[in-house]
């Protein structure tokens, strides 16, 4: 039995007529195998890190920890969750790091702090001086040109992230006056959910070229270049995925241009976790309103915020539930383009927008695929104080 079929079987076993079904289900075996495959496909010089912001669920982290070299944390809370993995590298990111976060990172001798601005570097220096430790930093650079086709971009345009590439000469001069910090790397996280493998390879090549140029220009001793994550999932067209095999092959070829003492890092999040999480929600009502077909479910964007945030239709399938407990006729929709909405009192609580559905009935289960990343933890759980979904690990 495939993982997907096993998940459907488990849902039907657990469904109770008295309590509408709502759950996240994680395919732990599939996640482990995926992490192992990705790590094995990369050159030895390239390290796979996990970006915890995608999904910090401890069960998932334990599942992948054998197959990643390190973790990227964007808060003190995330960093604290990594104390269980003393043998893994840790790096920290984020545009508004607190002194408390920086102190913890420095005290724990993490692999690298990704510095977002000159002011942040000055604070790192002050804290390092107080703690009597010299600190390695990687400057996060907002490149003048970055990938243009990704869903979200954090570089190549004005954003709150990183140091403007054009200001690098003056900032380098200022940092030279700070003896408790040492620039040993660069961080280039520029995009989110990029689907173009060729464009991503060109981006990696550009970053390598820039890092080598700056190492020579500013007399640095680099040993770390982090390309960020940003490799995407095609939610709308699952048959057109990011071409990882071609990307991996291209990375092997690019290694001829990278100094052998550099650690090259991809901090993957969505691409690692998304395919192995599912969100299941029971159908509570179906109806037509002004000529448009609606399905409402037990759950919604307070559990799975991504489709509402991106104004997209999340990929789904309908699991037919044949049992019917009510002494009433069973409402259904047939051969309709449906909008699937949640239980919140707002018209923005929409998970699917006008997708064709052969048949869907009250009491069936809508199973949303690719819900393992940027799903539960980015959602506004307490809005209307509805119950939380179950967390199920297969």
**Closest C-alpha among 16, 189, 196 to residue 115:** 189
* One-letter-per-residue 3-state SS of 56-87: CCHHHHHHHHHHCCEEEECCHHHHHHHHHCCC
Count of other CB atoms within 10 angstroms of residue 202: 13
Check if the beta carbon of residue 343 is closer than 8 Å to that of residue 298.
Answer: yes
22 is known as an active-site residue: no
* Residues paired with residue 89 on neighbouring β-strands, in sequence order: 70
Q: How far apart are the first and last CA of the chain?
A: 13
22, 207, 345, 357: the catalytic one is 345
CA distance 121 to 139: 9
Residues 6+ apart with CB under 8 A from 190: 142, 143, 146, 147, 153, 154, 155, 156, 203, 228, 230
Q: List active site positions.
A: 345
């Amino acid at each position: 039995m495939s993982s997907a079929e096993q998940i459907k079987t488990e849902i039907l076993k657990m469904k109770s007529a008295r309590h509408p079904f709502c759950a996240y289900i994680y395919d732990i075996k599939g996640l482990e195998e995926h992490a192992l495959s990705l790590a094995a496909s990369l050159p030895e010089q390239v390290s796979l890190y996990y970006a915890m912001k995608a999904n910090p669920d401890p069960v998932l982290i334990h599942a992948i920890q054998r197959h990643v070299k390190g973790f990227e944390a964007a808060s003190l809370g995330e960093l604290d969750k990594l104390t269980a993995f003393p043998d893994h590298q840790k790096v920290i990111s984020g545009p508004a790091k607190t002194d408390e976060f920086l102190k913890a990172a420095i005290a724990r001798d993490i692999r690298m702090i990704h510095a977002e601005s000159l002011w942040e570097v000055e604070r790192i220096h002050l804290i390092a001086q107080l703690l009597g430790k010299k600190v390695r930093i990687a400057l996060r650079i907002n490149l003048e040109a970055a990938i243009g086709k990704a869903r979200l971009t954090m570089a190549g345009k004005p954003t709150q992230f990183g140091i403007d590439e054009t200001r690098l000469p003056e900032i380098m001069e200022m940092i030279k006056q700070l003896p408790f910090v040492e620039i040993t790397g660069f961080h280039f996280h520029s995009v989110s959910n990029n689907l173009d493998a060729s464009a991503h390879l060109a981006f990696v090549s550009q970053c390598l070229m820039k890092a080598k140029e700056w190492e020579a220009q500013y007399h640095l001793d680099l040993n770390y270049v982090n390309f960020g994550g940003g490799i995407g999932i095609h939610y709308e067209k699952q048959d057109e995925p990011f071409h990882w095999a071609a990307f991996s092959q291209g990375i092997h070829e690019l290694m001829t241009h990278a100094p052998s003492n550099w650690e090259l890092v991809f901090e993957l999040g969505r691409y690692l976790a998304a395919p192995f999480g599912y969100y299941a929600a029971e159908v509570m009502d179906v109806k037509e309103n002004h000529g448009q077909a609606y399905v409402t479910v037990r759950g919604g964007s307070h559990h799975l915020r991504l489709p509402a945030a991106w104004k997209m239709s999340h990929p789904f399938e309908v699991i037919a539930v044949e049992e019917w407990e009510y002494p009433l006729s069973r409402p259904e929709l047939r051969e309709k383009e449906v909008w699937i909405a949640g239980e919140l009192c707002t018209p923005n609580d929409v998970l699917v927008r006008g997708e064709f559905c052969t048949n869907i009935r009250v009491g069936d289960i809508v199973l949303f695929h690719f819900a393992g990343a940027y799903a539960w933890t980015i959602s506004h759980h307490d809005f209307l104080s509805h119950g939380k979904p179950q967390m199920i690990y297969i």
